[in-house]
Structure 1
Amino acid sequence: MTRARTEGRQRRAQILEIAARIFTRKGYRGTSMREIGEQAGVLGGSLYHHIKSKDALFIELHDGALDAAEAIIVAAIRGARDPWDKLEAACVALLEIQLDPESLTMPMMNDFREVPDDVREALIARRDRFEGPFRLLVDALPLPPEIDRSIYRNLLLAQLNGAADWYRPGGLSPRVIGRQIALLFRHEGPEMP
């Protein structure tokens, strides 16, 4: 690889990092390409050499955040054998990602209302793929037949995703909260009437 190409990739990575921080702080609507360029020290026309558009940039950053989060979750469940232990490991991993003050995952995932419809469709499609490991985990659980697995999974993810709304550092750790949520969703024993 040539030096110019290496420098170009490094510069693009720097721009992406700056853009992610601005999107995280200001949201999709509050972020402008001009501000990204200014903070990155890149003139307007030069920025578009590295970045196609604001929409494409947001999708790329969103997808990258979910790719990284998914890899962490898959690695966390890899060693567990029991389906309930796997679920707990996934819950803990997701909360540790989301409740990390430096995390870009939650702000990127929760900005769907502000984006154009075509961008929203792309974000939702990637989010649905991100939920794949949870779909597999829930499918493997020994749940009573009366429990609809789709409803169970959606309620579980709503609890995990909603934790950022009420979580405060200094209280229970993300690990403890993840374990508690997994415990609350554990359904064993006699069938429901």
Structure 2
Amino acid sequence: MNARHPDKSNPSREDEVVAAAAALFAERGYAATSIRDIGERVGLLGGSLYHYIKSKDALFVRIHDAALQAAEDRIRAAIEGVEEPAARLARACRVLLAIQLDPASLTMPLMNDFRAVPDSVRVQLVARRDAFELLFADLVNALPPQPGRDPAIYRILLLATLNSASEWYRPGRLTLDEVADQILGVYAVGS
């Protein structure tokens, strides 16, 4: 997560702290994770830990932002070079679905903690999430207009379905691609 240390085989101490915090936030949630827990996970006392982080709130925002940026980067890479608007949106939806169903993904655990964070943190999370959703707003707005379809409502419903997939999807019956086809079919998005 740190641009100064791209070699993940030799992470910096700060990278270790961020990774430990991300794992704890995903496992326990924001409210149940303390600075002490993070310090214990990486073998640092509280005072030493503050050398690497400003606060629990700042650390949560940093991890949330990094997870959304990584998702956005994957989506943008997947749609690069795809010209047809429906195909671009379909590809973006498939990538987001894959991210949401990846057990190692941090996006869902962090999103699920939205109501547990202090208001000042929530404002920052909403701003970053709104910026992420602009990608999908642009993709939806590029579709040919359809009578009776409000692009904003269409985008909200599509994202709500994709973002909640980890709550209802169970492996075995349908593959990820088959689930994506079903969602794209319901929302009339060409693949």
TM-score (norm 2): 0.90
Provide the identity percentage: 55
Give 1:38-117 correspondences, 5 Å limit: 38-117=40-119
Query: What corresponds to 2:23 in structure 1?
Result: 21
> Residues 25 and 33 of structure 2 are in contact (CA less than 8 Å); yes or no, is this contact kept in structure 1?
yes
Amino acid at match of 1:58: F
TM-score, normalised relative to structure 1: 0.89
Which residue of the partner structure matches residue 191 of structure 1? none
1:121 is matched with which residue: 107, 110, 123?
123
Equivalent residue, structure 2, for 1:32: 34
5+ residue gaps in structure 1?
A: 189-193
CA deviation map 1:151-178 (0-9, x unaligned): 1110111111111111112332223222
1:180 Cα deviation from its structure 2 partner = 2.0
Match of 1:185 in 2: 187
Give how far 1:71 is off: 0.3
Q: Normalized per residue, which structure has more helix?
A: 1
1:12 aligns with 2:18: no
Give the superposed CA RMSD: 1.7
Q: Which amino acid aligns with 2:101?
A: L
Larger radius of gyration: 1
Say whether the 8 Å CA contact 1:87–1:182 is kept in structure 2.
Answer: no
Q: Quote the Cα distance in structure 2 between the aligned partners of 1:187 and 1:128.
A: 22
User: Any conservation in 2 of the 1:84–1:141 contact (CA below 8 Å)?
Assistant: yes
Amino acid at match of 1:145: P
Q: 2: CA distance between counterparts of 1:175 and 1:63?
A: 27
Structure 1 segments, 4+ long, off by >4 Å, are none
Shift of 1:187: 7.0
Q: What amino acid does structure 1 have at the position aligned with 2:31? A: R
Q: Structure 2: 5+ residue runs without aligned partners?
A: 6-10
Whether the 8 Å CA contact 1:18–1:39 is kept in 2: the answer is: yes
Contact 1:143 1:187 in 2 (8 A): no
| Alignment size in residue pairs | 182
